[in-house]
Amino acid sequence: MSSRVILQPTGNKDAREHYVDTLLRPVDILRIKPFISQDEFNHLKELYPNGLVPTWGVTAGVNNVNSNKWNKIQPADVTFFSANKVLYSYGFVTYKIHNAALAQHLWDFNSKGETWEYIYFLDELRDHDIPVSLFNKIVGYSQNYLVQGFTVLDEEKSNALVGYFDLESQTAIQPVSDDEYREIVESFDLAALDIEGKSKSRAEQGFLRKTLFGNRALGTCGVCGKEYPISFLNAAHIKKRSFCTSEEKLDYKNIVMPMCKFGCDDLYEKGYITINNGQVKVNDKIITEPLNNYLNSIEGRECEYWNKSTFKYFEWHRNHHFVSNI
Ligand SMILES: [Zn+2]
């Protein structure tokens, strides 16, 4: 349920070339299209609306050792690339496909006649600079341990690393089932912000984001109505999460809506705005001119998330932030 960490050494020549050719310079989706099904294409297009797809792949390996590891990979897992005893960058997994023809097209074959057919796609690639010695310390390996090949860390080691660097994808969403979400909501104590608590919190957020955004890279703020990449949108609770009963949290289709980080989420959270009769209403608070301009631009907008199922949550928020002018 939590994000796994994948280690991807890039010491050899093939890997160094692939890193530049298909990750740093993402692959045009039109090059991929002839090799994949329509469903796979649609899925990729949702993930990469600009059509540029950072692509990686591994060979099956001796006795399928790599493909067995690849099978464990899921969206929102983190891949670290390493060379010269440094983990020098990381990115988040978005999707994977097994496709030898595409791999051959992108990378040809290695000297043993294998191709990198166990393909996975990445996003949010970022430079980092983690000495392998620090990595070893965090996950509990001995000081001189050197990662030799494609590796998927177990849950405990993954949690240690993800927790240490506070890694969280802004766009890739890990698959969380209804049952897993229920288990989190019923067991999760927000006070327990240890590594396990953080991991559950991420999973809960991931589930809610998946509910709102599906695989789409773009979404629309429920308050101001503007469209943004989903990394600028929160899955915001209409009724404050800490006041929700378990039953209300489980009403996940109605308890959240997208709110943008450019102001709407904070304004709603702090009670500067409420939704009344389906419209954005501005409360009487201390404001400044720029704030007033922002509020004027959204006042009276119709909120499309206001309906008979969500009504009671908006009412709670309005009462919670009740001020004299309502
Ligand atoms: Zn907004």
Query: What CATH number has the domain bearing residue 94?
Result: 3.10.590.10
Tell me what pLDDT residue 325 has: 46
- The answer to whether position 176 is within a domain reads no
State the amino acid at position 37 in one-letter form: S
**CA 221 to ligand 1 centroid distance, Å:** 5
Euclidean distance between CA atoms 247 and 265, whole angstroms? 23
**CA 77 to ligand 1 centroid distance, Å:** 29
Is residue 135 domain-shared with residue 235, that is, in the same domain?
Answer: no
**CA 51 to ligand 1 centroid distance, Å:** 26
Is residue 105 domain-shared with residue 247, that is, in the same domain?
Answer: no
**CA 236 to ligand 1 centroid distance, Å:** 11
Provide φ and ψ at 97, rounded to 5°.
-145, 145
Number of domains forming the structure of the chain: 2
Is residue 152 domain-shared with residue 223, that is, in the same domain?
Answer: no
Tell me what pLDDT residue 281 has: 94
Is residue 36 domain-shared with residue 124, that is, in the same domain?
Answer: yes
Last residue of a domain, one of 145, 165, 185: 165
Provide φ and ψ at 280, rounded to 5°.
-70, 125
**CA 296 to ligand 1 centroid distance, Å:** 13
- The answer to whether position 152 is within a domain reads yes
Burial class (CB in 10 A: 0-12, 13-18, 19+), 273: buried
Is residue 246 domain-shared with residue 105, that is, in the same domain?
Answer: no
Euclidean distance between CA atoms 96 and 5, whole angstroms? 15
Tell me what pLDDT residue 150 has: 94
**CA 274 to ligand 1 centroid distance, Å:** 13
Q: What is the DSSP letter of 76?
A: T
pLDDT tens string for the chain (326 positions)?
A: 678 999 999 988 999 999 999 999 999 999 999 999 999 999 999 999 999 999 999 999 999 999 999 999 999 999 999 999 999 999 999 999 999 999 999 999 999 999 999 999 999 999 999 999 999 999 999 988 888 889 999 989 998 998 888 888 877 777 788 888 888 888 766 555 566 777 788 888 889 998 999 888 899 999 999 999 999 999 999 999 989 998 999 999 999 999 999 999 999 999 999 999 999 999 888 889 999 999 999 999 999 999 999 999 999 999 998 764 44
- The answer to whether position 213 is within a domain reads no
**CA 273 to ligand 1 centroid distance, Å:** 12
Last residue of a domain, one of 165, 189, 205: 165
**CA 17 to ligand 1 centroid distance, Å:** 42
Is residue 160 domain-shared with residue 228, that is, in the same domain?
Answer: no
The DSSP bridge pattern shows strands 279-282 and 55-58 to be unpaired
Contacts 24+ apart (CB under 8 A), 260-263: 260/221, 260/223, 260/224, 260/226, 260/228, 260/232, 260/233, 260/234, 261/232, 261/233, 261/234, 262/221, 262/224, 262/226, 262/228, 262/232, 263/224, 263/294
Q: Distance of CA 237 to CAs 42, 179, 270, Å?
A: 30, 20, 13
- The answer to whether position 156 is within a domain reads yes
Is residue 149 domain-shared with residue 231, that is, in the same domain?
Answer: no
B/e letters for 198-237, b = 16+ CB within 10 Å, e = fewer, are bbbbbbbbbbbbbbbbebebebbbbbbeeebebebbbbbb
Alpha helices in 120-225 (DSSP H): 132-139, 155-165, 178-187, 195-213
Euclidean distance between CA atoms 238 and 235, whole angstroms? 9
Is residue 42 domain-shared with residue 141, that is, in the same domain?
Answer: yes
Is residue 145 domain-shared with residue 226, that is, in the same domain?
Answer: no
Q: Is the Cα torsion angle 317, 319, 321, 325 positive or negative in sign? A: positive
Is residue 121 domain-shared with residue 241, that is, in the same domain?
Answer: no
- The answer to whether position 173 is within a domain reads no
**CA 270 to ligand 1 centroid distance, Å:** 14
**CA 229 to ligand 1 centroid distance, Å:** 12
Shortest CA distance to 94 belongs to which of 51, 50, 48, 49?
48
**CA 320 to ligand 1 centroid distance, Å:** 21
Q: Which two tokens stand for residue 227?
A: 């469209």
Is residue 31 domain-shared with residue 151, that is, in the same domain?
Answer: yes
Last residue of a domain, one of 165, 193, 210: 165
Is residue 235 domain-shared with residue 111, that is, in the same domain?
Answer: no
**CA 294 to ligand 1 centroid distance, Å:** 10
Q: State CA 294 to chain mean position distance.
A: 29
- The answer to whether position 119 is within a domain reads yes
List the domain range (segments joined by +) for residue 313.
218-320
- The answer to whether position 189 is within a domain reads no
Q: Which residues are close to ligand 1, an ion, with C-beta < 5 A?
A: 221, 223-224, 260, 264
Shortest CA distance to 233 belongs to which of 221, 243, 216?
221
Structure-derived torsion over alpha carbons of residues 162, 165, 170, 174, reported in degrees to the nearest 10: 0
Q: Is residue 226 helix, strand or coil?
A: coil
Shortest CA distance to 256 belongs to which of 270, 232, 233, 237?
237
**CA 95 to ligand 1 centroid distance, Å:** 29
Tell me what pLDDT residue 123 has: 93
What residues form DSSP beta bridges with 178? none
Q: How many CB atoms lie within 10 A of CB 31?
A: 15
- The answer to whether position 325 is within a domain reads no
